[in-house]
Structure 1
């Protein structure tokens, strides 16, 4: 028996989210934002909080500073039922912070990485790879230590009997230094969005990007396309395109992709088909847009189920 359904491995920071901003910032000038939220941030943490809210036994492995933001991160994870026994506190580094300037469906982010940059494979408790049914990694390009050690991490996960998903997220340096031929065969579910995949594959179109990476897929890739839905690609070459469940009154789209990941992986670890997982991801991504911040719509399991039914006319199957 595995202790956890899912262990999320990756970056931890707080999000300072600014909404209703009067234009774009300019050097030497000041503008106002009329709404502000300070909350649990980072793609991996949003994923962990939401997959836990959806009923998966979840733990987190990452690094924070010994500071007030670190306390907020740990407390927020634990309040969502996420076990933090594998979260490391660094006495010499501060917890990361992302300032999010939200403009409708778009946003501009500025991140101070802090402790997340320092985490390496050697820092991780080996028990992580034995206690998880599934390990999810995200935001590799913001974590140079984990990026450098990605192959031994993935091999340790599979040696421990865990399946693995990866959402690389955007590369701030736009260098995309990852060897798909080496890494993707070690990933069960690869989870980029369209812009990330085309950049990673150095492709001019989505079709070209899919064709470029498909030979290296271990099992499947799900490509998130925002308001255009998602495309599921299997290692055998099958493609399934599903349109988005659009929310015409979206509060914001922060964390929608991470919430998609949470719904997909929650379905995956309970044995759902890949098509069922894709549908679950589309639905939880849409649910995320009904509240502010990446975790606001997932206060608990019942709230998510109710939103799915009342706002989108869908049944969110979690059992």
Structure 2
């Protein structure tokens, strides 16, 4: 079967209702006011797919939504970014997921209704759906119980079919952090946790011990450190790269997913891991210049212009 896409993304789909300009985070029994409100495409997986497509990659999405206004909004937003949505199942019996995001300074609180994403599982995935792409990306493991026992099976299938792979597990709302790294990560080329997630996954108190505990499992471990940059480990080497700082942050929603998109954009092109890391840092910074996870990314040339003008980036 012909390869039609650079990347197939499998993951959760939801909208984000973002409330900004809040004086303080909510307290039980009290009401707070928000000065701004935005309804936009949410979910780590969809933000990654959208921004990667905006950079010029051919991207397909496999997921599940309800036959409702939020499901239509998600598909329309992905299609506007040229993400292929033919593998998104639309269910008449399920509701599309939604996240309420409360932004306060550079921090945020979130509440998510999982909806249809809970029902996506390995029965929805067959080899003929994967083989049309060069690379598989999976995100938000803990929000998708259908993969709790089968994530190794998914990545094993992808590798057998010749795809490269990447994984971002994201936060565990239950804070149990049940993830069998020894079984799953050997089939993952690029593992993309942030530093807090990595410490929880490994039950370590510092990044150095945490990243070394996973040494040799995935080909590359890339740790996102927010406004401190990122850490890359491979072949027993560790490379720290500082951030591209935005001194006028609008919000940080999707910054980590934008980092992922930047890293994988270069990775698929065969760039050196350090170049992928730098471009990931840059895309994460650009994401913070607009509200929501996708609004800062129009196309590759516009993205590079922002990179040059705001962050002094040169290729």
With the shorter chain as reference, the TM-score category is over 0.9
- Aligned pairs, number: 314
Q: Does 1:270 align with 2:269?
A: yes
Q: Secondary structure at the match of 1:69?
A: helix
Q: Please show how residues 205-244 of structure 1 align to structure 2 within 5 Å.
A: 205-217=206-218, 219-234=219-234, 236-244=235-243
1:124: how far off?
2.1
Contact map agreement 1:224 1:230 (CA 8 A) in 2: yes
| Secondary structure at the counterpart of residue 147 of structure 2 | helix
Q: Deviations over 1:139-190 (max 9, x none)?
A: 0000010232101111111111111100000111111111111111010000
**Higher mean displacement: 52-61 or 299-308:** 299-308
Structure 1 match to 2:244: 245
Q: Is the deviation greater in 168-177 or in 300-309?
A: 300-309
CA contact (8 A) 2:127 2:161 kept: no
Q: Which residue does 2:6 correspond to in 1?
A: 5
Measure the CA separation in 2 of the matches of 1:61 and 1:303: 28
Using the alignment, how far apart are the partners of 2:25 and 2:123 within structure 1? Answer: 42
What residue is the counterpart of 1:194 in the other structure? 195
Deviates more, 1:297-306 or 1:12-21: 297-306
Distance 1:127 1:103 in 2: 44
RMSD (CA atoms): 1.0
In 1: Cα distance, 2:62 partner to 2:148 partner: 15
- Structure 1 runs of 4+ aligned residues shifted over 3 Å read none
Alignment of 1:1-319 (within 5 A): 1-217=2-218, 219-234=219-234, 236-315=235-314
Unpaired segments of 5 or more residues in structure 1? none
Is the 8 Å Cα contact of residues 7 and 135 (structure 2) preserved in structure 1? Answer: yes
- Taking the aligned partners of 2:239 and 2:289, their CA distance within structure 1 comes to 26
TM superposition score normalised by structure 2: 0.98
For the residue of structure 1 that corresponds to 2:293, the secondary structure is: coil
The normalised TM-score by structure 1 is 0.97
Rounded to whole Å, the distance in 2 between the matches of 1:212 and 1:196 is 14
Q: Is the 8 A contact 1:163 1:188 kept in 2?
A: yes
Gaps of 5+ in 2: none
Q: Distance in 1 between matches of 2:148 and 2:243?
A: 31
Contact 2:7 2:59 in 1 (8 A): yes
Shift of 1:105: 1.6
1:253-272 residue CA offsets vs partner (Å, 9 max, x unmatched)? 11000000000000011111
Partner SS, residue 271 of structure 2: coil
